[in-house]
Every structure is written in structure tokens, then in C-alpha cells.
Amino acid sequence: MLSRPLRAIASAFALCAALGASAATVTSVTIEGPSTIDLQNSTSVQYTVIAHWSDATTTDVTQEANWNVTTGSILSVVAGGTVIASGVGTEAISAYFLPPEGGYFNPTKSVSVTAGTPPAWQAVSLFCVFEDTSGFPAQQLERIFVGPMGDAVPACGAKIVMGNKAVNRLQVIDLRTRTVVGSAPLSSEPRRMRAVPGTTMLLVAVGASQVARVDLATGATAYASVSGTIRDIAPGEPGEAMILHSPTSNPYFDTWVAVLDLATMTVLADRELPQHGGLIDYDPAGNRLFLGSTNLSPSSLSRLSYAPASRTFALDQYRWNAGGGGSDLSLSPDGSRLAFADGSGNGSDYAIHDLVASNLDSRRGRWKTGPYPRAVGFRHDGLKVIATSYDSLIEFDAGRHVVERSWPMDSSDDPVCSYTGHVGPQRAKYSPSGRFAYSTYPCDSAGYYSVVDMVALGNPTPPSSPPAVPATGLAFTCSTEDPGALPAQTPVRLPVEPVNDIVPACHGRVVLAASGSNRVVSLDARTGTVIGSVPLSASPQRLSRLNGSSIHFARLDAMRVARVDPVAGTASYIEIEGEVSGIVEGAPGQVFVVFRVPGSLDPGDRVAVLDAASGARLGTGQLAAKGGLLQYDAVARRLFQSDEESLPAPLVRYGYEPSTFVHRTAALDEPRWRRPGP
């Protein structure tokens, strides 16, 4: 399909050709489409613009017109003539068109919005092992415009269950036909929605302080109330739900959880939490509640244990600096990892953090979305992650943190409307079978209409597991080198994927920290041929090779380092209890890994001393300053440290005792301040 600018150009050529052939001119322009929209039974309605020529012919110029509405409070119109209703009443739509012979036309059409009889409820299921994706373009993003959405949950059969705020109803939308096929009334405006696994129940926050339990098989609804304002909902223990709410008008510092009995819809307990937040998820297998703050920088995460007998919570772990502008929280199906969308990133860290659920200070890696990560969801088997950023829907391999597929969520045909955190939530979800991926979000600044972006993925893909390829002929010791066909004294540029670091080898070969595919790649620079590859679990940031060896220690975008041998094609991992800032070969047989524990107030970093041969931890030392720029003098047993992120930067020299793993600041070496550099 041609993009809108290309279609406009093609249409202009066609119009000019018609004008040249017949000397006909545009005499009038009309908007064609229904005069009435049923708010209860429509998602969106397509209108067209028709140019009428003096020779009695007509041309569809819908894509070339600029659309508008009178006020936008009842109707919204987007590029291409799609109209969405959000209230009852009458409003005019208009289309501004410039004909090829000059001048302009601006036809209008009055459209009345009525509230007809809604359809009866249609039973939907949230469990299926297969879904038919025929009729949808494979691997292409389809955009469906709908009314103002509180939230949405994917169902089987290319359907979603949506809370429509214009009519205060729960609607079943068939995305294949783009029609409302089922509807159930709610007592007030729908907001947050969560399905209860293993049941037909859907929980919906209604208005400020009500929770609706909806039976998706029948549409039957029951209600419970909590005090104040509901902020989030999560299924709890079997037969229970957790309702996060703020009884007062200070939601950031007034956080309670009501434990709800789903059978009777009564509150069993209401507990104030020791920390604050606006996002929750619950692990019934481990009796753990996860709490995250929203739209704050820094954003915090808490893990609380839950005692089902007494229905009480105890704080197990609190991390005050888990990210910036937290926007979504999702627990993996096996409860082992917690995805936290770092919405603002403080200007640099635009990613979704993959945290160890049992230790929120431990990060396995990051799913890098670019600005601005908004929403995240796991596939039912936990092997893939679907996420949204400012302008893209992205699928990652969960284990290796690499992008597998991505789709732009804005185009020349439609307005950019994905960054709407101030209007309402975004969601990124797989369908129950994993054969569709969805993103849902309010679209305009007032929240009068919303968007469902969907992709027919087809059969669920397996984990990303590229084979390790040993680097044949890779050597790091040589007295002479063969330049091959490389021209003497002439720079040669090779196109490669994004690279964070490079280690030279003999005979024009190099080892690359390839951050695009999360691999250590061996490349013959003379021919541009990849001669070896070792896949990693996270993005490699820096490489440090041991002298006289092919072993490289890689600093990863995770709280671990990798011990990589590109010649053997192997990698192993060493867990580190903090963010690694630097690696350097230390005393004979040792490697120093400098790191900082999250939230630490220590003035200096820590250093893990590893056995170079096995990667085993030998000991841990404390440094006087921060920084990952490191050099070690094995003869004098001195470690030099600086910091590439500070200006001015410290320059510190330490004495080192290999037998006790102690780094002491040399007696005459107070920190010297210098500009950072290599």
C-alpha cells in the first residue's frame, strides 16, 4: 500500500492528467457517509470526500483532504476520514481540499450521534491454545480506532474486552469485523481492568472507588467498594483480589491494599502499606506483592510478603531508585522476573528493566525500547516480551533481551498519538494463545478516542538461541601480521551492527562487543567476514582480554559479567550484586570487577576479585572513590581508578594485597581531580 504522501502525489498526477486531457475543473466537493452514528454499536465510521468535475465525473480525494470537526467534544476525526463518536449530540465534520486548478473547497456534514440499543453480552474466553489469524496481514500492524477507553483485555478469537467511558459499558470488540458484538452495563466510568487467571472473572475499577466483578461467560456483574481512589488491581490468592487504593487525596503518600473476597465481593481486610506506589502485581505461588511508583523520578519498587491467614503484609525489600517515571509493572508467568517500564529514564535510560523478583537489586538485563517505554507484557510461556515506546510496538526475546520484531505505531496516514501517559494507561499484551500482539491507548489529548494496534504474529516463536560459532584462526600473539588485501595507509570503513567495544587480534581480526544482537563477534576486518560468534544474555558494554589468553571478560547491561572465549565459542556468567562500572585484569590469575550496590550511600565503589581461570569469587574490597576507568600495575601492585561520568573526575591510586584482596589508598595519594578520559 502506498503511503499517504505517495498516494497524494499519485492522485495529483491523476487529477492533473484528467485536467490536461479534458480541461475539466472541480465544481463541487462533498462528504459522503452516514448522517447518524450509533454510539452503543460502533467503533468508528469511515467517511469519504468526493470531488465532482465539470465533465460529470467524480474522484475520491479522501486521502488528500484535511479533516476537522467543530469542537471535538462529540466527534473526533483522524486522517483518512475515520470518525469516532464519544458523546450523544450533533456535530459537523469538515474536509478542506485544494483542487489542481487552484482555489479550495471546505464541505461540511452534520452528523448526529445517538445511543441506540446495545447488543446483548457475547461470551468470551481468556484461554485458548490456538487462534485463527487468517484475514489479517501477517506481521503487519493494523490500527483500529475506538471510543474513549478506560482499559482493555485481549480475549480469544481476535477480540478484546474494552471499558468504554463514553457509554459506561464493558464491550466485546471483534477486531476482525471492527464491530461491537457484546455489551454489559457498568455503574460508572470503567478504569483499570485485570483478568483472574483460571476463571471467567474480569475485575474492573469503576468510578473512583468501586470494583466490578464481571463474569465473561454471562456478563453478570457484582460490585464492591473501597475508600478513596482505586489506583490498581491485581488477582491475589485463589478466590481473592488485591485492590490498591488511596483513602485520602494524597495518592503518592497514602497507599492501602484492600483484600477482596471474589465470591461474596466483600472486603476481608484493608491494610496500609509501609511504602507507596500506584502499580501492583501479585505472585500467589510465593505470596509476594510487588509495588511500584508511577510518574515519579526516581521511581521505587517494593516487595512485600503476604500472610494469607492474617491477611497482613510485611516489607521484604525496598528499592528507592529502580528507575525514572515508572509507567508499567508486569510479573513473569513463573514469578521469577519483574518487568518495570522506566518511562522517562532521566534522559538516558530508556528501557524496561528485567529484575530478579526475589532480589529487586539484581538486574538480568534491559529490554531497550528507546524513548519512551510505556507498557510491557509477557507471553503466556514467559519466553517473549511485548512492549511499547513513544512510537513503536516491539517484541523482545525475554532471555536474551534482543529485539526480534518491531512495528512503528505512527505513520503518514495517522496522527502520532502514542505518548499519552497524562490521559490514560497504555497496555502491551499478547492474546491468550500468543498469536496476536496488542497495544491499546488513549489517542488525543482530551481522551475522546482511543487506538488498538494489533499484529497477527502467527505461531509463537521459540526462544532466540543463535548458535555459538568458534572463531577459527583467531590469535592474539603474533610477531608479524598478514594485512591481506587491505590497502596500505588507507582507512577502510566496514558496515557493522552497533558496537560498544573492540579488541584487536592478529592478522586484521578484531573481537567486537556487538550490542545490536547481544553477541561477542569475531570479525576478519580484511574481508568483512564474521568468523565467530558467541551469543550473550544481555548487551555487552565493554571487553577486557586477559594477557596471553583468548579469554575476555565482558561487562554486560546487567548485574553480571560474562567470561567469554571467542576461540572456543563459550560463555559463562558471574553474578554481581551491583551495577558494574569497570573490569580490569588484576594480580596474576585475578580479575577486578568494580561495581556499585543499588542505593548504596558509600562514597566509593566496591571491587569483586575473581579467579581468572574459573570466574569464581575470591573476595570483595572497598574503594575510596567511584569510577570504572581502571588500570592495574602488576609489578608494583597498584590499581588506578578514575570516573568517565564525572567532571572533574577523581584520580586515585591504591595499593593492593593479593592474599587478602584489600585495596588501600596509598599513603600519599589523596584523590587528585582530573578531567575524565581513557
What torsion do the CA atoms of 500, 502, 503, 504 make, to the nearest 10 degrees? 180
- Predicted pLDDT of residue 253: 74
Specify the pTM.
0.88
Angle at 325 between CA 321 and CA 328, to 5 degrees: 100
Task: Enumerate residues 6+ apart whose C-beta is below 8 A from 511.
Answer: 471, 474, 502, 503, 505, 520, 521, 522, 523, 543, 545, 552, 566
Binned average pLDDT, 10 residues per bin, the chain of 678 residues: 43 49 84 96 95 95 92 85 93 94 94 96 96 94 92 96 96 96 97 96 97 98 96 96 90 87 98 94 97 88 97 96 89 97 68 95 92 92 94 94 90 45 70 96 74 94 91 94 85 88 95 95 93 96 95 94 97 94 94 90 90 93 91 93 80 87 56 42
- Predicted pLDDT of residue 529: 93
Among the listed residues 344, 274, 334, the one whose alpha carbon sits nearest the alpha carbon of residue 303:
274
- Predicted pLDDT of residue 324: 84
- Predicted pLDDT of residue 23: 79
Q: How many CA atoms lie within 13 A of 368 on its CB side?
A: 13
- Predicted pLDDT of residue 512: 97
- pLDDT tens digits for 235-276? 999 999 999 999 987 766 789 999 999 999 999 999 999 999
C-alpha grid cell, residue 303: 516487595
Return d(Cα 351, Cα 344) in angstroms, integer: 9
- pLDDT tens digits for 323-351? 888 889 999 999 999 999 987 655 456 88
Count CB atoms within 10 A of the CB of residue 9. Answer: 13
Are 200 and 212 in contact by the 8 Å Cβ rule? The answer is no
C-alpha grid cell, residue 223: 460490585
Residue 390 burial (C-beta neighbours within 10 Å; 0-12, 13-18, 19+): middle
- Predicted pLDDT of residue 415: 43
Sheet hosting strand 58-60, strand order edge to edge: 26-32, 48-53, 58-60
Provide the sign of the torsion angle of the four alpha carbons 203, 204, 206, 209, taken in this order: positive
